Structure formats: C-alpha cells, structure tokens
Amino acid sequence: MAPVVSKPAEVALHPGYREVVVQFLTELADDELTLGHRDSEWLGLAPDIEGDIAFSSIAQDEVGHAAFCFDRIAELTGQEADVLAFARSAAERRNARLLERENGDWAETIVRHYLYDTFDRLRLQALVESSYRPLAEGAVKMLREEYYHRLHMQTVLARLGRGGEARERVERALYALADEVGSLFAGSLQDARLTDLRILRASGNDIASAWCEQVAAELEDWGLPVPAGLRTVRPAADGRTVHGAALQQLLSEMAEVYHTDPQATW
C-alpha cells in the first residue's frame, strides 16, 4: 500500500506523489539556502577570526544541502537547479519566515541557528526512512553534518548565556524569535499527504512537540529563560508563503550576479 520510490522516474506510478515531494523538497532547499546566505553575511564580521571562518564553513555546508535538494527537484521536474535557486521571486519561495530575517546581532544569529538546527535535525531524522529513497539517502549525509553544526551552536549559545551583556542579548533574541518560530512548522508539515505517502515518517505536530521539549530542556540546562512561544509552538499558517521585505532584500543581493546574465555558464 505505502509506496517506496527508489528512482525519480517511479513517482509517475503514484498519483499525487510528485507534487507532495516537490513541495517538501522546495521547503528544505529554500530553508537551507536562505539560512546559508544569511550565515555568509557574517564573513569578515564575526567576533573573532576562528568563529568567522567556522561560520563561513557552516554557510557552505547549508548551501551544499540546498544544492542537493534543488538537484532532486530538477530530477523530478526537469527544471534547472540554478534557475530554482536564483530566478524564483519572493512569492514563490517556501523558506520559513524565521530564516529570512536579517541577522541582527551575533547572539540573535546564534539563537536562530540553534533553534533551526534543532528543528532541522528532527526533520532529517524523520526522513531517514523516507519512502522517497533519493531523499532518504541524502538525509543520512545531511544529518552527519548537522551534528557538528548543532554542537557548534549549543557550545557558543551556552557560553553566551553565562552572563553579562552577552546573556542580555541572548535573552532579547529568544523573546524576539519566539514570535517567528511558528513559521518553521508551516507548509508541508501541515499536509497529511506527506506522512500518508511516508515521505516524512513523523507528523508536523510530533516534530513540533519534540522540538519544544528539547529546546526547553536545553535552555533550562544553560540557565536561560524559555519564552512561552518556545514551550508550545503554534504553526503559522502563512509562515512559508507570506514573506517580508527582508527576503526581497536577500534575494536581490544573492541573485545580483546571476541576473547580470542568466544565460551565462559558470
């Protein structure tokens, strides 16, 4: 009954499968590309040179994950990965609104990354047994890289939370971002077909409650406050479809070179 799709061409055998998996892959790719680009904006500006290089390295990993997902979409739709990454308008993007926000200060950047990495890990874990085998194989690899991304954010966040001005900034960021985290759980995670087709092996609600539990426990371990919006998260219905001016700004900067000559071969 439940399909197993080992090759892109096999999606044609299962009605509705292609649409659902492409929608979900678009969210994965857009999340990683958006956050990867925001990470890259710290180049030359992070508080110390080691952290600067580390953040750029993580940015490259995230963009690599986005490239993997765009390639999987390209296999299913015949579109080009570069066109998907650079030519789509803000209205067509499906990243969570949380990720397009401007970076804010270093504390806010670290808090957002930690919140996202914790979410991303749960989402990837639910993909390891995906019925869409090309995605399941990629999820195993992405999980391995996300392990040290999360470790990095946990280590830095715990240290920033110890006191002084850094801690004040972390607290401010936690409350500011608590209003936006609902956007992570919007879109496909609210679509029952995603679990019915076994593309994702946990429901959006299961992922959301696991995420809240883990985030609250870790923040408490570090002696940080847990805003109500992180203890129980309400998925924002328009969190991946309605975007702000921040995404427009991000896209025009990210795709500036691409738009000088979209036909160029790189």
Partner 1 sequence: MRLQEAEGLYHPYEVFVQYEHLQHHQHVGSVLAPSPEVALLMARENLLRRERAVNVWVVRKDQIHATAYGDSDFFAQEFDRSYRRVDGYSADNARKWKQFKQRALELEDMLGD
Minimum distance, C-beta of residue 158 to partner 1, in the bound complex (Å): 9
Nearer to partner 1, 12 or 53 (CB): 53
**Does 151 interact with partner 1 (rule: CB under 8 A)?**
yes
Nearest to 36 by CA among 123, 149, 185, 139: 149
End-to-end CA distance of the chain: 44
Whole-angstrom distance, CA of residue 176 vs CA of residue 140: 32
Identity of the residue, 57 or 205, whose beta carbon is nearer to partner 1 in the bound complex? 57
Its sign, for the CA torsion 157, 141, 84, 92, is negative
Range 43-82, binding partner 1 (CB under 8 A): 48-51, 53-54, 57-58
Least distance from partner 1 to the Cβ atom of residue 152, Å = 5
Per-residue x/- marks for partner 1, 202-241, CB under 8 A? ----------------------------------------
Q: Which residues contact 28 (CB under 8 A, 6 or more apart)?
A: 65, 66, 69, 123
Size of the site for partner 1 (CB under 8 A): 14
Helices (H), the chain: 17-40, 49-77, 81-86, 97-100, 106-125, 133-160, 164-178, 192-196, 204-221, 228-231, 245-254, 256-260
Asked whether position 148 contacts partner 1 by CB under 8 A, the answer is yes
Q: Which is nearer to partner 1, 94 or 152 (CB)?
A: 152
Q: Which is nearer to partner 1, 155 or 205 (CB)?
A: 155
Stretch that binds partner 1, among 24-32, 42-50, 69-77, 217-225 (CB under 8 A): 42-50
Query: Which of the stretches 115-123, 155-163, 179-187, 256-264 binds partner 1 when contact is defined by CB under 8 A?
Result: 155-163
Please report whether residue 155 would count as binding partner 1 according to CB under 8 A.
yes
Task: Give the burial class of 184: count Cβ atoms within 10 A of its Cβ; 0-12 exposed, 13-18 middle, 19 or more buried.
Answer: buried
Query: Can you tell me the distance from the alpha carbon of 253 to that of 241, in angstroms, rounded to the nearest whole number?
Result: 20
**Rounded distance between C-alpha atoms, residue 175 and residue 208, angstroms:** 18
| Residues in contact with partner 1 by the rule CB under 8 A | 48-51, 53-54, 57-58, 148, 151-152, 155-156, 159
